[in-house]
């Protein structure tokens, strides 16, 4: 009977030993995953910094190009800035050329403008008259 008891007492240390090994394997797996995660994070951080710097450099290049094109466009748009009076003078010169047809058009436009002014004056004079007063309504004695 002693041999049976000896065998039974030998088994529990094996199961505790196995449980301990399982526990240690889990801790080892966690440690390995943690180490790999740190290495990956360090690599990603280095790559992220490099990628970010590359993007900033590319953005600066694009910004310079856009500013250069903007300045060139502004020069073309603002090239000959003419005064308002000069533009009016040129427009009148075009309307009053020596061409018979354009002279007739100007006279016709002046005639139409005169007629419009007369009608406008008539409308304005009618609006200046005092409005007609309505007769006072008779109130009923109370």
- Tell me if 74 is assigned to some domain: yes
Q: What is the pLDDT of residue 100?
A: 58
Confirm if 96 and 106 have CB atoms less than 8 A apart: yes
Both 87 and 76 in one domain: the answer is: no
Predicted pLDDT at 48 = 80
Q: Are residues 46 and 95 in the same domain?
A: no
Q: Quote the domain boundaries for residue 74.
A: 1-81
Whether residue 29 lies inside any domain: the answer is: yes
* Residue 140 within a domain: no
Same domain, 6 and 55: yes
Structural domain count, the chain: 2
> What is the chain written as a DSSP string?
-HHHHHHHHHHHHHHHHHHHHHHHHHHHHHHHHHHHHHHHHHHHHHHHHHHHHHHHHHHHHHHHHHHHHHHHHHHHHTSS---HHHHHHHHHHHHT-S-HHHHHHHHHHHHHHHHHHHHHHHHHHHHHSPPPPPPPPPPPP-
Q: Give 27-73 pLDDT, tens digit per residue.
A: 999 889 988 888 888 887 777 888 888 889 999 999 999 999 888 88
Give the tens place of pLDDT for each residue, 103-125: 778 788 899 999 999 999 988 88
Both 25 and 70 in one domain: the answer is yes
Residue 67 shares a structural domain with residue 2: yes
């Amino acid at each position: 009977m002693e041999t049976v008891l000896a065998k039974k007492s030998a088994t529990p240390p094996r199961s505790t030993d196995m449980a301990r090994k399982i526990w240690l394997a889990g801790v080892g797996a966690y440690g390995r995953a943690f180490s790999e995660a740190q290495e990956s994070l360090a690599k990603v951080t280095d790559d992220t910094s490099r990628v970010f710097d590359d993007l900033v450099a590319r953005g600066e290049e694009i910004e310079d190009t856009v500013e250069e094109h903007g300045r060139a466009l502004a020069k073309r748009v603002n090239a000959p800035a003419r005064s308002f009076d000069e533009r009016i003078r040129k427009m009148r010169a075009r309307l009053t050329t020596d061409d018979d047809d354009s002279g007739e058009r100007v006279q016709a436009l002046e005639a139409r403008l005169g007629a419009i002014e007369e009608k406008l004056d008539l409308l304005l004079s009618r609006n200046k008259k005092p409005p007609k007063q309505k007769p006072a309504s008779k109130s009923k004695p109370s």
